[in-house]
Amino acid sequence: MLNVRNLKTVFQVGNHTVTAVDGISFEIPERTVVGLVGESGSGKSVTSLSLLKLLANNGRIVSGSVEWKGQDILKLNDEELRKIRGCEIGFIFQNPQASLNPVFSIGNQLIETIQIHHHVSKQEAAQRTVALLKKVNIPDAETRMNDYPHQFSMGMCQRIMIAMTLAMQPELLIADEPTASLDVTIQAQILELLDELKTGYNMSVLLISHDLGIIAQHCDTILIMYLGRIVEKGTPEQIFENPLHPYTQALLSSIPVPDPKKKRRPIVLKGDIPSPMRLPTGCRFHPRCPKAFDKCPLVDPPLFKKEDQHEAACLLYESS
């Protein structure tokens, strides 16, 4: 359905050109959930924004392709893009309250969205709005559609954003940290809702998160990202039972084990994630990698295939 090849995105920061996403490739097949996980600053959100050319003014895509149903999104003009944004590919942003207009009621915003994309009467759009709010479990939808964003909790605002996305009936949903600002119980409700809607609407989902637990439970394929590169790909079973890349191994070792009888020593990485303005030579992870050897600062490794669907960008697997 979506095929990303060698995508590279840069930002102009003063006199510096900063590479945020550097030559990544991945696919999102029909009716699947692909998880993109990594530390803050790894390039996850920039990747999602690049897919629909929603970058800030100082950002630009310098190479690569994003094929949607056989056509390259990056070559489309603004009018052609508008037919895909929202209608075919939906987007849920990190901060739902910032994505809603504070001076209009949520009903007004949903009705306008429905009328723009489906060309129905205001009465029909209002009926659809109530149905959508009920579908995402907003209580007393007929009354609350007249309320404003500040009258809803963060979790409710996220539900409203999901309803607004569903109003356009997309085939692919990009969810960028959809539970980032929510407490644990509300997180579970939002994720359960997304699972139900994915099945009910036969959608594919790109789920972006830094929470490995969320990714493990809800994804068919996992992409591990570090400093603008995808360093490991695999199924949840492959990633969690046999992590290949030292970065993935370190991430997994940091997850607390609930059984006090099981002892696991976390892998402590050296230093902090480097600045994108001063990228390391060779493998980008080598300054922090506990398994680095003399070749790592010299060679930038591609993804090496270890087994079916499981790949890692690490020189340890160069000859395997």
Transcribe 144-177 into DSSP letters: HTTS-GGGS-HHHHHHHHHHHHHTT--SEEEEES
Over the Cα atoms of the chain, what is R_g?
Answer: 21
Sheet order of strands, 221-226 included:
89-92, 172-176, 204-209, 33-37, 221-226, 229-234, 310-312, 304-307
State the pLDDT at residue 285: 95
pLDDT of residue 266: 80
Q: Tell whether the model's pLDDT for residue 281 goes beyond 70.
A: yes
66-91 pLDDT tens trace: 999 889 999 998 888 888 887 899 98
Six-digit token pair at 102? 């504070």
pLDDT beyond 80 at 226 = yes
Whether the CB-CB separation of 168 and 117 falls below 8 Å is answered with: yes
Looking at 153-157, 196-200, 215-219, 297-301, which range is the least confident one?
A: 196-200
- From the list 205, 151, 196, the residue with the least C-alpha distance to 175 is 205
Q: At what angle do helices 184-201 and 154-166 cross, to 10 degrees?
A: 10
Tokens representing 261 are 């009888």
Q: Give me the pLDDT at residue 320, please.
A: 58
- 245 pLDDT above the threshold of 90: yes
* pLDDT for residue 184: 79
Question: What are the b/e assignments for 177-190, b being 16+ CB within 10 Å?
Answer: bbbbbbeeebbeeb
Q: Which residue has the higher pLDDT, 229 or 136?
A: 229
Structural domains of the chain sorted by starting position, each given as residue range(s) with its CATH number in brackets: 2-226 (3.40.50.300)
What is the secondary structure of 171-221 as a DSSP string?
Answer: SEEEEESTTTTS-HHHHHHHHHHHHHHHHHHT-EEEEEES-HHHHHHH-SE
Start-to-end C-alpha separation, the chain: 31
Kindly report which listed range (10-19, 74-83, 92-101, 165-174) carries the lowest average pLDDT score. Answer: 92-101
319: amino acid identity, one letter: S
Place of tokens 């695999």: 234
Cα distance between residue 286 and residue 270, in whole Å: 10
Average pLDDT over residues 307-313: 92
Burial class (CB in 10 A: 0-12, 13-18, 19+), 34: buried
**Paired tokens of 107:** 């009903």
Highest mean pLDDT among 24-28, 178-182, 212-216, 266-270: 24-28
What is the edge-to-edge ordering of all strands in the sheet holding 71-72?
Answer: 16-28, 2-13, 59-68, 71-72
DSSP H or E segment with residue 7:
strand 2-13
Confidence of residue 35 (pLDDT cuts 50, 70, 90): very high
**Is the per-residue pLDDT at 253 higher than 90?**
no
In the predicted model, is pLDDT for residue 167 greater than 70? yes
Candidate from 173-177, 222-226, 310-314 with smallest mean pLDDT: 173-177
Percentage of residues of the chain with pLDDT beyond 70? 99
| pLDDT computed for residue 214 by the predictor | 86
Q: Closest by alpha carbon to 247, among 314, 294, 171, 196?
A: 314
Using pLDDT thresholds of 50, 70 and 90, give the confidence band for residue 33: very high
* pLDDT reading at 265 higher than 80: no
Q: Report the percentage of the chain scoring pLDDT > 90.
A: 57
Quick: pLDDT tens for 108-149: 999 998 888 788 999 999 999 999 999 888 999 999 999 999
Instruction: Judge residue 25's burial from the number of C-beta atoms within 10 Å of its C-beta, 0-12 exposed, 13-18 middle, 19 or more buried.
Output: middle
